[in-house]
Amino acid sequence: MKRVVLVRTLGPRNVGSVMRAAANFGADDLVLVAPQRPSMLVHPEFVQMAHGVEDVRAKIRVVPTLAEALQDTTRSIGFTARARGQRKRADWRAVSGDVALAAADPGQRVALVFGSEESGLSVDETDQLGELCSLPTAPEHTSLNLSLAVGIVLFTLFRGKGVHVREKGPVLAARESAELLKARLKDVLGRAALSPQACRDIQASVERVFTRAPIESRDARAWHKILQALDGQAHPRNLGVAAIPRDARRRRALEAREQKQPPG
């Protein structure tokens, strides 16, 4: 389980944005330690940035000390861009996998601790934490916005059921179908041209347009139907292109299915 702890936070916009990130990426609760504004959770900017999160204030606890925020946690990790005392900071990329496993364990509660926007975590605060980490950045810009840093950390830990997956992309036309379509377009539109030069221009345009970007299977079928209505069914060999095998679609479907199956 994951708990986000914000220590001495200054900006209500940051707190609202962190609340949204916590809702997006499955953090179990958000704890504010001694926030700088007593009115933080009713500030208009907080309300604006946390918009859409149900019962938002019920998901946040406010406590006076970091020790209280860490009371029931099994692991605590502080994020800081500045070295504090003699303690070393781990590269978050090197430890995030192990932390993700711990955060996915219902028997553990991992605290992810972030300091204030101005000064980060103090030496006294880092002394209370089990681990320190840094988020590597480009050397030209070494400082991260608080809510952005929290969002990056929570995103890298996001696991489990309910993850929003990418929708299925378009099905592209097979190479044979695309080549046949280009040949038919050149033939039908070229014969409709008013002059040899116009014919060459049309055919060159067809080649550019239909070669520049892939065409979806459904669009290729629609174009074939248009051409069939205009000029009948032309056989591929009359257009100088290879015929599409009858079993090509079935063969491609079987190959795709075999690629998706896990190894036995």
Q: Where are the domains positioned within the chain?
A: 2-157, 175-246
CA-closest candidate to residue 180, choices 247, 226, 228, 242:
242
CB–CB of 150/112 below 8 Å? yes
Task: Give 3-54 pLDDT, tens digit per residue.
Answer: 999 999 888 888 888 888 888 888 878 999 998 887 878 788 888 887 777 6
pTM of the model: 0.59
The torsion angles phi and psi of 91, rounded to 5 degrees, stand at: -70, 120
Helix axes 175-191, 217-231, angle to 10 degrees: 30
Res. 194: pLDDT tops 60: yes
Q: Which residues pair with 4 in a beta bridge?
A: 30, 112
Task: Give 106-151 pLDDT, tens digit per residue.
Answer: 888 999 999 988 888 888 999 999 999 988 888 777 778 888 999 9
The confidence score (pLDDT) of residue 118 equals 84
CB–CB of 171/178 below 8 Å? no
Please give the Cα distance from 144 to 245 (Å, whole number): 57
The confidence score (pLDDT) of residue 264 equals 44
Spatial neighbors of 178 by CB under 8 A, at least 6 apart, are 210, 214, 215, 220
Please give the Cα distance from 242 to 223 (Å, whole number): 18
The confidence score (pLDDT) of residue 176 equals 75
Spatial neighbors of 234 by CB under 8 A, at least 6 apart, are 184, 187, 188, 227
Sign for the CA dihedral angle at 75, 79, 83, 89 comes to positive
Q: Which is more confident, 31 or 256?
A: 31
Sign for the CA dihedral angle at 86, 87, 91, 92 comes to negative
The CATH topology of domain 2-157 is Alpha/beta knot (3.40.1280)
The maximal CA–CA distance of the chain, rounded, in angstroms, is 86
Burial 76-92 (b: 16+ CB within 10 A, else e): bbbbbeeebeeeebeeb
Res. 189: pLDDT tops 70: yes
The confidence score (pLDDT) of residue 67 equals 93
Task: Give 203-255 pLDDT, tens digit per residue.
Answer: 898 888 877 767 888 888 888 888 788 777 666 666 666 655 554 555 555 55
Average pLDDT over residues 63-67: 93
The confidence score (pLDDT) of residue 63 equals 92
The confidence score (pLDDT) of residue 7 equals 93
Res. 259: pLDDT tops 80: no
CB–CB of 126/168 below 8 Å? no
Task: Give 150-185 pLDDT, tens digit per residue.
Answer: 999 999 888 654 454 555 566 777 777 788 888 888
Please give the Cα distance from 31 to 59 (Å, whole number): 9
